[in-house]
Structure formats: structure tokens, C-alpha cells
Structure 1
Amino acid sequence: MCALAAEQEPLHLSERHWRDDASWSLYAASDLVPHRARADVVLVGHAFSPNGAAVRSLTARVIVNDIDKAIEVHGARSFTQHGVLDQGSRVTKMPLLWEYAGGGPGTSNPVGVPPHARDIHGRRNLPNLQRPGVVVIGPDDVIEPVGFGPVASGWPTRRQKLGRYAATFPVNDWHRQPLPPDLDVGYFNAAPFDQQTTALRDDERLILEHLHPEHPHLMTSLPGLHPRAYVDRPGEPPQGVPMWPDLLWINTDRCICTVTWRGQVPLREPQEAGQILVALEGPHQTLAWNDIEVLASSSGVRLASGRSAGGAMGEIGFQAPYDQAHDGDSDVRDEDDPEACTLPLSVSQDLAVSSPALPFATVPASQRAPPSSQAHRLADLPFVQSAPYAAAVPTPAAAAQPPADALTATTAASLVAAEPALPFVQGERADPALRHQAEPSPPGAMPAEALDKVLRPPLVAVPPALSPALYAPPAPERDAGSPPLTAEEPAPPAMLGPLARPDWGATVPPTEEAPEPDTQANEPGPLPAAEETVPPLAAFPIERCAAIAAKLARRPADCDTILKAEELTPKTWQWLHVRRLDEIQDEIARRKKKLLSAYDAAYVAALEKERGPITAGEYAQLVIAAEQGQGQAALAELGLPDESMMRIRRVWLERIVKDKKAAAEVRAAMRKADEA
């Protein structure tokens, strides 16, 4: 279980970009939003190879509530001017920024790798991030953007939610006037659509694959802590303020996550007198106002109602309007003027130990960073100073640490481990002088030291559910022949989509000695066990294998039934399928695609047999959704598996070329969708 960090992350009153440069993607979205229609889950940092072994690729995966998202992470790759896929050096970690995914100007990911850009040598660089199961045939293939990070407010997928207000909406000053009654509040959600959920719990379970430098398969949960807030107005009884979590922000480099809680307090006028008191409740704990008064009695803070209260909780006044809080990027407070702003949330070190209402222990003073003068002045108030962040964990090219600000009632609770066995460990905060030095500057030309054989694609789009045995796998010794990778080594992409699949060793950690990566990547897979009958290849032509793969992708829960009907076991099926996929890749290497076309056609036909024909309107819907970065959601809406997008598009492109009627239907459907 995650442990509460001694110091909480600062609130973000505006968007924070990587390198503090608005031309880069977001490090953190603004906390200053009126409402989030759904809860956001976002992740920044790096993906990490198992046990630090250098790999060609791996699959990073996040599971939170009903969110289950995987991204294939590749090292440097590019197509030569002759159309040959050139693999670069292996990697031990890779940034998960949008700059390393597909996209480019005019797409849903404006900072991504443009699909048709080439360097001075005529090479097309491929992006490092893509959806699982995507296969790139040649340098002209386009793959949709994908990422775990927050989406900037000015990007198309959010901007389009403003509708007719897009040209005039005051992005940074929305709080100065009432919101339009018909505004789509989904605009304020910063997570990609497939990382939004209906609600988050205070004890939410998190499963992370290849997103922790020490634990390739990590399962943990939030500690079950939650804030209890009360409004205290002059001459009125206190009023409880319901609060709910609407943002989970995970930083894999710092091994922390934060939960943002939100509550709404109606005001009669902008300058209404009063204050909000916030205390922290433990699991299954409920604090009444009397408990708040008891906790507050030790500090002597004067309540708006006239009673004497203390500093065992955060005190947030009403008299710091948003106009003061958000004036450009100026977040500087006057420490000598206590009336100029309200007090930030912090935790009393003494109360954290003695009071049952604060169920977390403080960090020893020897482990805490020296407090600032302002931190000393506010030491009595709520969520105490932070233990340093892990020095052993690589620090991302993070935006400069945002200034602390407390003009909203949102608390960002960093989670670090109480002991090394826990997932989020603590260490030293990174030296600000070293910020931004770890990351390469995308987009740049990829290194191409050797041309390796094209790897076969994965068998399924998303890896199967984790088994308990994978949560804490044994740590094999690192292969001495695998060169270490510095933070500067992976060159960011300038394009997208792979011919490659993740290394088998990257998705399932080896239990014994790992074989040499090249050998492992190039072999078609082991034969089934001796007691299993090896099926004749002639009985399973490529079309039959494609149909089986389509059924398994669409109905993964029926895997045993589907294979039994085909008189196959999981091992024999894997062996058969890998052999057929190898044949496709070998043919692609010879600049032919007859087998791929046959596989795609049979795959799509099997999908249509189960769910009905894919119409021209549905194909147009998929194309538009892919351009907007919402291809996965569109596939789910149409009852199609995640990995089917490129196969459907290739089949329809071929159909459009050969069938003028089909081409006209697609054009009409596209026009109709654009008009809508």
C-alpha cells in the first residue's frame, strides 16, 4: 500500500509544460478548474525495462479501476530512404512524453512525430510510442498518437469541446465570469479519453507494468485517506463540504502519485467572509465538527464564527479571489502580508503523531529537507514537510518546480513508500540545477547502428490480465552483455508505427538466465511439448490463422472455447500463429505484401461474421476518430478489438481503390461527419 508523503505537491494554478516551454507537452494540468465531468488518470515519466536489461521494446501498462491501457514502447527505429526498417540501439528506459508518439501539426498530438517527415539522409524516423499490435509495412504508414500524459487545453481533442466558444473562451480567465450554460465541461478533463473513469476511490488499486525502475510488475493501492472539509461563516453554524477525488497523477521517475480532491462551496458574493477548515481522515474514519474543534484547539486560530480554533487542519479563507490567484504566471506571495493570501494546506508535525484524526506518522527530522522561511512560518498548518524524493530514481526533464500556492481547496497528496518493499520509495528531491538535462530534444534523427531482422508483431493487442505470480517476479541477474543506457541515449522519434513486437522477455520477466536478445527476437518460438501433437501447417493456412486471431481478439474471455473448437491448445496455437506471422514479416522484408493482404482480409471477414459488416459510415467514423486520437474509443463503441484498426483501414483502402461505389460511400460519410 502507498504511504502518505510528508510534504504534498504544490497546486498548479496554470498548466505546467515540460521544460517550462509552452511548445512542449504538459507535465501537469491546471488544478484550477470548476468541475471535471469524469475522473482523470494521467501518468508522466519513463517506462523501464525489466531489471535494467537493455531491450528493443516493451509494453507499458496501467490498470486503475475500469481503465486498462497499454502502450508499446520501442527504442530508436527508422526507415531508410530505400524503405528498409533500421533498428537502433537497445534501451533500458524511454520517456513517455507526447513528443515521442505519432502526430505532428494539425493532428490530435501537435507535438508528435510527423508521419511524412524525413531527415537530410532521407530517413523516416518512427515514434517510440504506439498502440499494441500495430504493424507498419513501410515508411508511408500512419499510426495514430497514443500517450499516458495530460492533454493541453489548446490541443484539438480538448479545444473542440468548446464548440462555438472555442474562438472566444477565456482559457486562463474563465473564473472571471459565469460559464456558458451549454458548455461541455468535458473540456476541463485533461486525461486522454481512455484514461477517464466515472469515479476514483480513496483506496483505489493500481497495477503498473514496466513503469517502476525496480518492480516490472507492480500492484499497490491508495492508502484510503480522504479530506473532511467544513465551511465556517460568521454568525452561522458550520457546514460540511462534500469532496471527491477527480485526478490521479502518477510520476514514474519520482515514484510518487498524487490524488486531487475537489469540493464546491456556493458563495453569496465574491468577497464573502468566511473560511474552510480541512482535516485528514483515515480509512473508515469520519470527523464531525466537534472533532475539528478539538483538533484545532491547540493552535488558537480564530474562526470566522468567533470561536477559537487551532491549526490541526488546513485553513482556507474566502478573501483571495481568483483574480489574485491567477495573474499570468505570477504566483508570488508576500510573506510579510498575511492578509494578502490564504494559508496553504500542511500537516502539523506534532498533531500528526498524537492525534487519532491524523493517521499518518511524520518523517524524522533528519530525513526532511531544510524548510524554507515560509514553510517555517506555516509549520503549524496541515500536511507537513516532505521527505526527499528518491535519489536512486531517475529524474525526468520535469518542468521547473511549480510555485506553491494555496488559493484553492485542492490537496495533492504524494504517495511514497514507508519501506523499500513498497512501490513508491522516498529519496532526495532532485537538484533544480539538473532539471531538463536528462531528456533528448525531440524530434531528432535516430541512431542506426545495425539492421536487425524485422520482428513479428504481438499475438494480441493488449497483454492478458496479470497473474499474482507476476506482481513480484524474481530478479534475474542482468545480462553482462547488455550495454547500459544513459538518459541521453534514446533519440526521440520523428514518426510512428512499428514492424516490431515487444521482446518476449520484456513482457514476461525471465525466471532463469535470459537468452541473448537477438537470438530470442529472431526465433519463431519453441515447439509445443513432446506430448502435444504438432498440427500440420497445411491444415492451418494463413487465412484460418487470421480468423482465429480475430475471434480471440474480439472475445478474449472465450479463448479456451475458441481454441478447443479448432482442436488447438494455447501452446500449439502460439506456435502456429508465430510461424504464420514470421512468413508475413519475411515477405514484407522482400517488399511484398500478398500474405499480409490475405491475413488482413480474413481477419476483417471474421470480425464481420461475428458482429456484422463494417459499413462505409462506420469506417469513416473510425478514420475521423483516429485523426482525433480517439480511435480506441471508436473501436470499443463499434464492438471491434483494439488491434484491428490498421487491418480494417488496409482492407478498406484496398476496397476503395477497386470499388468506385465504396469510395463514393466513404466520401459521403466523411462529408456528413465533418458537417456534424
Structure 2
Amino acid sequence: MTQIQTAPSDTATQLSVRLPDGRWALEILAKRTYEFDDAGRLGPADEQPGFVLAPVWDPAFPELLVADIDTYMYKLRTDVVVQGHVYGDGTAARVDAEVAVAGRTTRLRVVGERRCALAATGELRFSPAAAIERVPLRYTHAYGGRDRVHEARHGNPAREDPRFRGMTDAQLDAASPFLYPRNPHGRGYLIEPTREAVEALELPQIEDPDDLVRTDRLAVGNFMHWHRMPLPRGTDWIDYGWYPRVAMLGVVPVAGDFERPPAEVARGLVPPALAAGDGKKPPHHALEVSSGASLTLQLPYLRGGEAIVLQHIHPRRPRLDLRVPTAPELAIDARKGGAVQAVEPVLHTLLLAPDLRRLTVVWRGCGPTRRRHAPHEFLKMPMRVAWRD
């Protein structure tokens, strides 16, 4: 059954956008939410939430983004975001979970709760991990955080820096050099391995299997060298204030120039312009900020029908197979007396919530136009979204 929308709504709209080459284009965005069963069969949800028009943060964790803006005018890639849990069987202390979309796989090494101890010899040791029942797929459980013991001992220099005069307490707290710029809400970030700091340390439960946190590289030593530490591994949104998203605005936290390219550049996950850590903005930096998914889940545009595989990220099935929903037919105002012009749909955002059995997509299509259109014009401009599901 085809459902057709021909007027702006909470789930479909036209916008003016400036393309990477500087030309103006007329764009259409369309949002759709689906429900799926344990066999991965999709169907439109009875309730269709509207566009998210402003960022939503977790009230318990400042700068922990739980919902990004849907109405970014132009993303350079498809953002894939998975929110939920990794599930174990209650006996194993390790689970290797996966998110695979269109043949590109993000692997997650998930371990049970552990503690770190400082031996009499001065060596750091991890305790055996506890059994896993479920672990939240949030950056709170990935590598990162702040060394609160070190900060309590030395104080937050941002509070004494005249450059930060006039900032709120929350802003000064976020400017501390003793938090991990890639993920200030995670676990495991340690400046100095003092006994007090080690005993207070929480270790991450979600890691990159190819870049695990180890005792011999747990302490960064000099906080200016944070960029040498492991990349957080996650599947949720990256906050605007975290590196590397904030670097797209020309801001590099608590660092001089990098002495070597950070892992994000070495792995080809961000533009090479970020290699020096000098605050130089990459090409199309304003558009780069629009991409907020975890770095390995920012994919070449999806177009509908691609395979999705979730391993150990469903409450009842160790493996869940889905497909990206069929793209809608999109058409923008043709500027010819009420006619519309078909445009190619590409996926801006794919949001998966397996615990809720929900999948949400935001599609984009755009075509050239001679000028920027004012918001009031869109109310009378023809458009068409035809959902084929």
C-alpha cells in the first residue's frame, strides 16, 4: 500500500540548502518509523513521531547526546545509530557483539565489570571480569571519562584562566583538561596511576577488539597526550563538544599541535585536515558537523534494501537480520505551475532501537534551484513523498 504526502508536515518538509560546491538546491526530507518483529519483518508504526528539531541531552549527563537533529539540510554520509543493550547469557564474562550494515561491520568487545588494582611492585592489574547479562550501548560504558582524583589534587585550571571568565560552572567543568575529549562520560581515563586514582577507577565494558585497554597503556601521563589513547567504541550519538565532532568547528581540546596524526585520521575515519591538531577546519566543515553517528557507523549513503545484521544486540535473538526499508519516492517543487520534479532519495539517518523493536529513517532528496527560498514559501510549494511499504 502506498501512502502519499503532498504538503509539509511533522514528518516531511522542503528546505533550501547550499551544496558543497556552493550552489543552492531545493531539498526534501522525509521521516518514517517502523516496528519489527523477532524475525526482522518491518511495518510502519502506528505512531509516527515528528522531526527532532533540536538536540536532546540526557538530563543526568551534560553533553551526553541522546537524540540529534533530524533536519540537518545536508549530510555527507548516512548516520547509523543503535541504541539499546548488548546481551549476554549470564554466565560468560565476554561477548563479541556486531553491527553490520551493507557489509560494513563494527565490532564491539563487551566484558563484565572489572576492577583495577595497583600491585606492591607498582604494576597495574585487572581483576577477572564478572558474567554479563546486559550492558547498555552507551558511551557511559565505553572508554573515556575523567580523572577526578587527579583533578581534585591539582584543581581545574580553567577556573583560574582569565580566558574562561564569564563561563558557567557547567562550562568550566566541561573545560577541564582532566577529562577525555573523545568521551568525557566514559570509563578508564587515568592521568597518573596513584593508588587512590586506581582504586577509584571504573574500567570500560565496551571496547574496540583491535584496540583494547591494557594495563601497560592505561595511564596517559601527560594530559596533553590524550590523542594517543584508545578510541571509544560505541553505537550511539557523538556529542557536538566531543572530539572529533568539535574539531569540525576548528576547536581542538586541551592540546597543542599533535606530534603524530590521531587514530581517527590514521584509520581514515575523519578528514586528513585534522591530522595536525592545529584547529584547521576540514573542507565542508559545516557539513561535517552534521554527521553525529559513531565514526565507524558513518557510512556511504544507503539507498534502501541493504542488509542489517545485529549480533547479541537483541533481547531474545543472538542474531537479528533486517533490511534497510525501501526508499520513498521523493519529488520537489519544479517551479512550473504546481508540477513536481522527482529526486533521488538517499538516507540521512538510520536509528535502530532493538529493545523497543523500532527502526527510524530520515531520507533526503534534492535538486538544483536558482536561489535560496524563504521558510514561508515552502508552505505553498508543491512536494510529494510516496511511501511504498
- Pick the TM interval, shorter chain: 0.5 to 0.7
Q: Does 1:30 align with 2:107?
A: no
Among 83, 104, 108, which residue is 1:71 paired with? 108
Pick from 299, 318, 338: which aligns with 1:216?
318
The offset of 1:116, in angstroms, is 1.4
Whole-Å Cα distance in 2 between the matches of residues 280 and 239 of structure 1?
13
Q: Is the 8 A contact 2:64 2:239 kept in 1?
A: yes
In structure 2, the CA distance between the partners of 1:15 and 1:127, relative to structure 1 (3 Å rule), is: same
Q: Which runs of 5+ in 2 are unaligned?
A: 1-40, 146-178, 219-228, 254-281
Q: CA RMSD in A?
A: 3.1
Whole-Å separation in 2 of the counterparts to 1:279 and 1:149 = 28
The CA distance in 1 between the partners of 2:337 and 2:283, in whole Å, is 31
Mapped to 1, the partners of 2:45 and 2:117 lie a distance apart of 49
Q: Quick check: 1:130–1:145 contact (8 Å CA) kept in 2?
A: yes
Aligned residue in 2 for 1:92: 133
Quote the sequence identity (%).
24
Mapped to 2, the partners of 1:143 and 1:197 lie a distance apart of 21
Cα distance in 1 between the residues matched to 2:327 and 2:241: 34
1:344-493 to 2 correspondence within 5 Å? 359=389
Partner of 1:261: 363
- 1:1-42, CA deviations, whole angstroms, 9 ceiling, x for partnerless residues? 422222223321111223x35615222211121210111111
Q: Secondary structure at the match of 2:54?
A: coil
| Alignment TM-score, normalising by the size of structure 2 | 0.61
Aligned to 1:150: 237
Do the aligned partners of 2:116 and 2:198 also contact (CA within 8 Å) in 1? no
Q: Which residue of 2 aligns with 1:138?
A: 215
Q: Name the amino acid aligned to 2:128.
A: Q
Residue identity opposite 2:45 in structure 1: A
Aligned residue pairs total 266
Q: In the aligned structure 2, how far is the partner of 1:224 from the partner of 1:71?
A: 28
SS at structure 2 position matched to 1:90: coil
Post-superposition Cα deviations, 1:596-646, rounded to whole Å, max 9, x if no partner, equal xxxxxxxxxxxxxxxxxxxxxxxxxxxxxxxxxxxxxxxxxxxxxxxxxxx
Query: Are the equivalent residues in 2 in contact too, given 1:71–1:130 (CA < 8 A)?
Result: yes
- Is 2:151 the partner of 1:112? no
Distance in 2 (CA, whole Å) between partners of 1:268 and 1:124 is: 53
AA of the residue aligned to 1:7: E
Partner of 1:460: none
Q: Following TM superposition, by how much is the alpha carbon of 1:226 offset from its aligned partner in structure 2, in angstroms?
A: 1.5
Aligned partner of 2:352 in structure 1 is 250
- Cα distance change of structure 1 residues 224 and 32 upon mapping to structure 2, 3 Å threshold: closer
Q: 2:387 aligns with which of 281, 302, 316?
A: 281
State the Cα distance separating 1:160 from its structure 2 match. Answer: 1.0
Asked if structure 1 preserves the Cα contact closer than 8 Å seen for 2:238 and 2:294, the reply is yes
- Kept in 2: contact 1:24–1:99 (CA 8 A): no
Distance 2:252 2:112 in 1: 41
Richer in helix (by share): 1
Partner Cα distance (2:126, 2:100) in 1: 32
8 A contact 1:232–1:274 mirrored in 2: no
Larger-Rg structure = 1
- The answer to whether the 8 Å contact 2:57/2:67 transfers is yes
Helix, strand or coil at the partner of 1:253: helix
Q: Matched residues in 1 for 2:252 and 2:334: separation?
A: 37
> Distance in 1 between the 2:308 and 2:101 partners?
5
Amino acid of the structure 2 residue aligned with 1:108: R
Gaps of 5+ in 1: 167-179, 283-358, 360-676
How many angstroms does 1:201 deviate by?
A: 2.2
Q: 1:163 to 1:140 in 2, by over 3 A?
A: closer
Change (3 A) 1:90 1:276: farther
Correspondence for 2:55: 15
2:143 partner SS: coil
Instruction: Give the alignment of 1:305-324 within 5 angstroms.
Output: none
Given candidates 75, 78, 99, the residue that maps to 1:62 is 99
The amino acid that maps onto 2:333 is: V
2:338 counterpart residue number: 237
Q: Are the equivalent residues in 2 in contact too, given 1:45–1:95 (CA < 8 A)?
A: yes
Q: In the TM superposition, what is the alpha-carbon distance from 1:244 to its structure 2 partner? A: 2.3
Query: What CA distance in whole angstroms lies between the structure 2 residues aligned with 1:136 and 1:72?
Result: 11
Which is bigger in relative contact order (C-alpha 8 A, separation at least 6)? Answer: 2
Alignment partner of 1:42 out of 69, 81, 90: 81
Residue aligned with 2:127, SS: strand
CA pair 279-271 structure 1, distance change in 2 beyond 3 A:
closer
Work out the CA distance in 2 between the residues paired with 1:216 and 1:203: 22
TM-score by length of 1: 0.36
CA-CA distance at 1:236 after TM superposition: 1.4
Q: Distance in 1 between matches of 2:189 and 2:198?
A: 16
Please tell me whether the aligned partners of residues 80 and 122 of structure 1 are also in contact (alpha carbons under 8 angstroms).
yes
